[in-house]
Amino acid sequence: MSVAELKARLDAGGAPPVLLDVREPWELGICTLPGTVHIPMGQVSARIGELDPARETVVICHHGVRSFHVARLLQAQGFGNVVNLRGGVDAWAREIDIQMATY
């Protein structure tokens, strides 16, 4: 999913997807999308029970690499509606919210 597609999805209303941010805590201190659930990539397997496999889930990281791997892990664990945010928060900051800090 592109950042433009996510923005449109969030603006459309209705039940929002779970925004799963898999970055490290220090990264969230720099920038984050509002309403995210934070589980660092290295903890997802141990904390998978905190997530609902029936919910639409958008996995987010800095550039989209870590989130791609976590999305595949979730799919392998039976999550049916999981997508990776291409370009991550970096793309969001550059294309959607130019006030957002980058790193």
Active-site amino acid positions: 61
C-alpha triplet 69, 85, 13: angle, nearest 5°: 135
Q: Exposed, middle or buried, 49 (CB in 10 Å: 0-12/13-18/19+)?
A: exposed
- 8-state DSSP, 81: S
